[in-house]
């Protein structure tokens, strides 16, 4: 049985209070990055559209605050137009509908949310390339062969679709993509590439791109976190040992490269003298993956993953939190979205906030995740 650390209830209380406070302005908007203390709102089609309603559902599950529920439901309805326009969505369909329709269905059993999530799963499945066994990432003719490590976190929507429909085809697609990640993205030391380019006609691997990392051979920390959590989730849904082994290998790489305060730099392989700005969102996501890993193994190994996840979340709470600041809407400071393009560097990010809230809820004893 997980013993709740003393600081967790305090962190959860601070989280609930701040989410309630900032919800009065954000409402049913779609925040992405906090600039000068205020979350900038994006269109519903932006890839992070699910994270704010996901936070609202995490807090609502505990508080039953109807205002938070209504805001999350309004966010979900605003995504409806995207379900009939495949050009407006990409591989991040899973991020968007798992944390909106999927979360509402799991919490409330709402049939309209179930239908929405299944429609979204169909759109995600339609992006599968059978020649290369990958789910295509972004749109655009020149990117027809692009696949990215982030997509591991979209696969739970497909696993879930198979579980509720009894149709194994969604799961087959997810497994094929996860296997391709193991074969093409993974390196022997457990680090992973961000972008792999395939020939969309033949499926041949053509190129590795650095993407949001420093270089094609570097180790972008958030991509590493996606791999820890994503592979752990694939193991959760399939029981395939090679996914668990991969998650563990990446977890050890991640932990071995953490600085003293347990929160990663944006890339683990930036050359000496280059920027070592932190990415708190990578830490929060990895922590959630480590806590899942702790449930999937036994004994000292489970204790090690649990304590590692706790340490990251504790550092985020103590050293990176903006709990008492009225001038900052973000929960967790020092996130880095896209360092190579200098977009939203060293700012709070809504997905960092989401994974922090999810991680704290897990430490409080919540077993069912939205993924």
Q: What local confidence, expressed as pLDDT, does residue 273 receive?
A: 74
* Positive or negative torsion for Cα 158, 80, 142, 209: negative
Q: Which long-range contacts (CB under 8 A, 24 or more apart) does 4-10 make?
A: 4/363, 4/364, 4/365, 5/310, 5/314, 5/363, 7/314, 7/317, 7/318, 8/360, 8/363, 8/364, 9/364
Is it the case that residue 117 has pLDDT exceeding 60?
Answer: yes
Q: What local confidence, expressed as pLDDT, does residue 227 receive?
A: 98
Give the percent of the chain with pLDDT over 90: 94
Q: What local confidence, expressed as pLDDT, does residue 276 receive?
A: 84
- Please tell me the distance from the alpha carbon of residue 317 to that of residue 332, in angstroms, as a whole number: 8
Structure-token match 């497909």, residue found: 158
* Positive or negative torsion for Cα 225, 327, 15, 369: negative
Indicate the pairing of strand 128-129 with strand 343-347.
Answer: unpaired
What is the per-residue pLDDT across 299-352, written as a single tens digit (0 to 9) for each?
999 999 999 999 999 999 999 999 987 899 999 999 999 999 999 999 999 999
Structure-token match 């409080």, residue found: 364
Q: What local confidence, expressed as pLDDT, does residue 289 receive?
A: 98
What is the per-residue pLDDT across 73-90, written as a single tens digit (0 to 9) for each?
999 999 999 999 878 899
Q: What local confidence, expressed as pLDDT, does residue 2 receive?
A: 62
Residue range 44-51: average pLDDT?
97
Residue 60: which pLDDT band, with cuts at 50, 70 and 90? very high
What is the per-residue pLDDT across 173-230, written as a single tens digit (0 to 9) for each?
999 999 999 999 999 999 999 999 999 999 999 999 999 999 999 999 999 999 999 9
Q: Which domains does the chain have, with CATH numbers?
A: 6-363 (1.50.10.10)
Q: Where are the beta strands (DSSP E) in 36-117?
A: 38-41
Q: 213: closest CA among 30, 340, 40, 32? A: 340
Q: 96: closest CA among 138, 50, 132? A: 50
Residue range 140-157: average pLDDT?
97
Q: 18: closest CA among 320, 329, 285? A: 329
Is it the case that residue 282 has pLDDT exceeding 60?
Answer: yes
Residue 168: which pLDDT band, with cuts at 50, 70 and 90? very high
Is it the case that residue 1 has pLDDT exceeding 70?
Answer: no
- As annotated, the active-site residues are 92, 150
Is it the case that residue 367 has pLDDT exceeding 90?
Answer: no
DSSP type of residue 5:
P
Is it the case that residue 275 has pLDDT exceeding 80?
Answer: no
Buried b vs exposed e over 34-48: b needs ≥16 C-beta within 10 Å?
Answer: beeeebbebebbebb
Q: What local confidence, expressed as pLDDT, does residue 325 receive?
A: 78
Torsion angles phi and psi, residue 179, rounded to 5: -65, -40
What is the per-residue pLDDT across 229-264, written as a single tens digit (0 to 9) for each?
999 999 999 999 999 999 999 999 999 999 999 999
Residue range 352-359: average pLDDT?
98
């Amino acid at each position: 049985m997980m013993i709740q650390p003393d600081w967790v209830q305090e962190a959860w209380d601070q989280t609930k209070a701040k989410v309630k406070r900032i919800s009065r302005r954000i409402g049913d908007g779609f925040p992405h990055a906090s600039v000068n203390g205020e979350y900038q709102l994006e269109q519903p089609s932006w890839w992070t559209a699910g994270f704010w309603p996901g936070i609202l559902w995490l807090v609502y599950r505990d508080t039953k605050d109807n205002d938070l529920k209504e805001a999350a439901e309004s966010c979900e309805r605003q995504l409806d137009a995207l379900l009939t326009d495949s050009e407006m969505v990409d591989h991040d369909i899973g991020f968007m509908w798992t944390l909106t329709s999927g979360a509402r269905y799991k919490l409330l059993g709402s049939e309209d949310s179930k239908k929405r999530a299944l429609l979204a799963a169909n759109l995600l499945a339609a992006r599968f390339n059978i020649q290369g066994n990958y789910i295509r990432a972004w749109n655009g003719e020149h990117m027809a062969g692009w696949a990215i490590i982030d997509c591991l976190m979209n696969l739970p929507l497909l696993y879930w679709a198979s579980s509720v429909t009894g149709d194994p085809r969604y799961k087959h697609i997810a497994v094929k993509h996860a296997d391709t990640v193991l074969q093409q993205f993974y390196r022997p030391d457990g680090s992973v590439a961000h972008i792999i380019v395939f020939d969309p006609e033949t499926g041949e691997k053509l190129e590795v791109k650095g993407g949001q990392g420093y270089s094609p051979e570097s180790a972008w920390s958030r991509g590493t976190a996606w791999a820890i959590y994503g592979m752990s989730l694939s193991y959760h849904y399939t029981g395939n040992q090679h996914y668990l082994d991969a998650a563990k290998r990446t977890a050890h790489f991640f932990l071995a490269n953490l600085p003293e305060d347990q929160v990663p730099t944006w890339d683990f392989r930036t050359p000496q003298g280059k920027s070592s700005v932190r990415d708190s969102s990578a830490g929060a996501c990895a922590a959630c993956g480590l806590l899942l890993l702790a449930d999937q193994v036994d004994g000292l190994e489970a204790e090690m993953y649990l304590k590692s996840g706790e340490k990251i979340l504790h550092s985020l709470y103590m050293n990176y939190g903006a709990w008492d600041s009225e001038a900052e809407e973000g929960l967790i400071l020092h996130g880095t979205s896209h360092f190579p393009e200098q977009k939203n560097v060293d700012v709070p990010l809504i997905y960092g906030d989401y994974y922090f809230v999810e991680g704290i809820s897990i430490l409080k004893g919540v077993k069912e995740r939205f993924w």
